[in-house]
């Protein structure tokens, strides 16, 4: 059951990427050039803003980049300069399970004595902590000036 819940969560969140943006906006564009170094841009330009697109660690960076490009076009960018690709820890969750049958179980025998028919009184538990991670791409959005 636990694996089914985790798998369902992964499938649900695998398609979600969000972009945070700070900067100027222009009329939407239909194409964005992608650079990995600002010195590769051979046209006059200005930096119009900074973007960060984040998704669950189960989403491939390629898909996150596609979302970033889509959001950059919506902001009116002509190009983006990808500055970083990181996996960050955003939290954790823990689960604990144990063996309830380890608790003693007693019955009263016909002669009135207590008889232990269950465990030895020791309760075993197991705890697992899993880190929650996100994949993040950061980029500068570029507007060509000519």
Domain ranges in the chain are: 2-89+130-144, 95-125
pTM of the model: 0.69
Q: Which residue has the higher pLDDT, 123 or 27?
A: 27
CATH class of the domain whose range is 2-89+130-144? alpha beta
| Cβ–Cβ under 8 Å, residues 56 and 18 | no
Q: For 88-100, write each residue's pLDDT tens digit.
A: 999 998 988 876 5
Better pLDDT: 55 or 15: 55
Taking the C-alpha atoms of residue 118 and residue 24, their distance in angstroms, rounded to an integer, is 70
Give the H or E element holding residue 5.
helix 2-13
pLDDT of residue 117: 77
Kindly tell me if the per-residue pLDDT of 10 is higher than 80.
no
> How buried is 119 (Cβ within 10 angstroms: 0-12 exposed, 13-18 middle, 19+ buried)?
middle
């Amino acid at each position: 059951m636990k694996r089914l819940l985790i798998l369902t969560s992964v499938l649900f969140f695998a398609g979600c990427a969000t972009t945070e943006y700070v900067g100027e906006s222009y009329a939407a564009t239909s194409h964005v050039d992608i650079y990995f170094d600002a010195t590769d841009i051979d046209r006059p330009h200005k930096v119009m803003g900074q973007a960060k697109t984040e998704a669950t660690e189960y989403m491939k960076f390629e898909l996150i980049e596609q979302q970033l490009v889509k959001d950059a076009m919506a902001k009116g960018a002509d190009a983006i300069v990808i500055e970083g690709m990181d996996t960050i820890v955003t939290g954790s969750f823990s689960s604990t399970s144990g063996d309830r049958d380890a608790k003693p179980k007693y019955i009263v025998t016909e002669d009135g004595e207590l008889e232990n028919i269950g465990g030895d009184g020791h309760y075993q538990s197991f705890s697992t902590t899993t880190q929650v991670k996100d994949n993040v791409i950061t980029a500068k959005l570029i507007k060509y000036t000519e």
